[in-house]
Amino acid sequence: MTDHTPPRLPISGYPERPPHDDRKTLLTVMGALLIACAGMMFLGGVFYAVVFPLLMRTVPGDEFGSGGWPFSTAMMLGYAVFMFAYGAAMMILGIGLIRARRWARAISLAGCWVYAVATLAGVCYLPFWMGRVTSVMTDSALGGDPSLEGMNPALFSMFMWGSTVFGLLTSLAIPVAGILLFRSESVAWTVQSRDPVPRWTDRLSTSALACGLVWLCSASHGPLTLAFFGGHMGDAVGLDGGLGVALLLLAVAGAAWIGWNTLRARPHSWLMNVVGTVLYGGVGTYLVSRLDFTQFYRAMMPENIPEEELASLYDMTDALYGNPSAFVAPTLLIVLAALGFLYWARPRFAPR
């Protein structure tokens, strides 16, 4: 016999309140902001692909004019493809947030963590070259303006450091706010109640999802790098041009493979991340130590660029950054931090 007794109501006579507040409106606002950012990315892509080439063709007597345009074509088209691709990803993610999808919330949370960690990773480089950059900019600013002759260089240096730290904190505030939002129980309850169907992101922890996104994003930068340097990309680190291109393509394929297997929650995805971090970190550190800024700019610039301009670019870079070996220590520090994170996150790579 079927029991048709209606559900019991609390003493007040009203249905019980949901365990958490519904955050659909907040998710809609966040999705709309992402879609707006995607629109800006699309506009930037149109500028680099269409507007910039037309502007360059109108410059008389310039090496970019007369239809030649050897340097800007590849670089600007590379930028355009990059911005279109990321704009499309942001558009899809924004629509997912508006529709309160579980996968959109999970990817947004992982993306905010990646953004925050990447900002903190940039801090590792500050002690190694910020002092040199501040000194050069202080000398340039105070030495070129007679009205600043009485200013204390130490005060100007403190201003530069303060501006940099403020910028970093501002950049860090955005992902931290996103983390607090997307990891809240009310947002999790909202997407689970409005999207009860299990999604592929449910099998992944936030740590594993973030690692997979990092590898895929790293792979997506390969075509942009190739657009910048073409067949001469290996020249800056003392490699033959063909070898440099082959190494880049191999790195792109490897990063995409690791990222895909991580997002698929493969049994050995954690080991793939560890081996990939060691290989990419080791090779990257070695290549950074061999970086030649003269060849770096020569590979980027058109072949007919005057040697005086090339020397000026090199002198400016050398004054700001000094020996490229200064980047080796912070790069190694980041690699070691990544390995430490993977050691901590090992249990979180198991499929849920």
Q: Are residues 215 and 341 in the same domain?
A: yes
pLDDT tens for each residue of 83-103: 899 999 999 999 999 999 999
Residue 199, Ramachandran bin (φ over 0: left; ψ between -120 and 50: alpha; else beta): beta
pLDDT grade for 42, boundaries at 50, 70 and 90: very high
Which of 15-19, 147-151, 160-164 tops mean pLDDT?
160-164
In this predicted structure, the answer to whether residue 214 has a pLDDT above a threshold of 80 is: yes
Weakest mean pLDDT among 65-74, 97-106, 204-213: 65-74
Residue 215 lies in a domain: yes
Residue 333 lies in a domain: yes
In three-state secondary structure terms, 124 is: coil
> Looking at residue 346, what is its pLDDT?
92
Q: Are residues 211 and 350 in the same domain?
A: yes
Q: Are residues 349 and 212 in the same domain?
A: yes
For the range 322-327, what are the long-range contacts, defined as Cβ-Cβ under 8 Å and sequence gap of 24 or more?
Answer: 322/129, 322/132, 324/288, 324/289, 324/290, 324/291, 324/292, 324/293, 325/288, 325/289, 326/128, 326/129, 327/125, 327/128, 327/129, 327/288, 327/291
**Greatest CA separation found in the chain?**
97
Q: Are residues 88 and 218 in the same domain?
A: no
Mean per-residue pLDDT over the chain, rounded: 77
Residue where a domain stops, chosen among 99, 115, 142: 99
Q: Are residues 76 and 210 in the same domain?
A: no
Residue where a domain stops, chosen among 76, 99, 122: 99
Q: Are residues 219 and 347 in the same domain?
A: yes
Q: What is the mean pLDDT of residues 102-114?
A: 94
Q: In this prediction, what percent of the chain has a pLDDT beyond 90?
A: 30
Residue 80 lies in a domain: yes
In this predicted structure, the answer to whether residue 67 has a pLDDT above a threshold of 50 is: no
Residue 245 lies in a domain: yes
In this predicted structure, the answer to whether residue 331 has a pLDDT above a threshold of 90 is: no
Which of 67-71, 229-233, 308-312, 348-352 tops mean pLDDT?
348-352
Residue 229 lies in a domain: yes
pLDDT grade for 304, boundaries at 50, 70 and 90: low
* Distance, CA of 170 to chain centre: 16
Q: Which domain holds residue 82?
A: 18-99
In this predicted structure, the answer to whether residue 254 has a pLDDT above a threshold of 90 is: yes
Residue where a domain stops, chosen among 99, 133, 157: 99
Residue 92 lies in a domain: yes
Residue 332 lies in a domain: yes
pLDDT grade for 317, boundaries at 50, 70 and 90: low
pLDDT tens for each residue of 235-248: 656 666 677 778 88
Q: How many domains are contained in the chain?
A: 2
| Residue 228 DSSP label | H
Q: Are residues 217 and 351 in the same domain?
A: yes
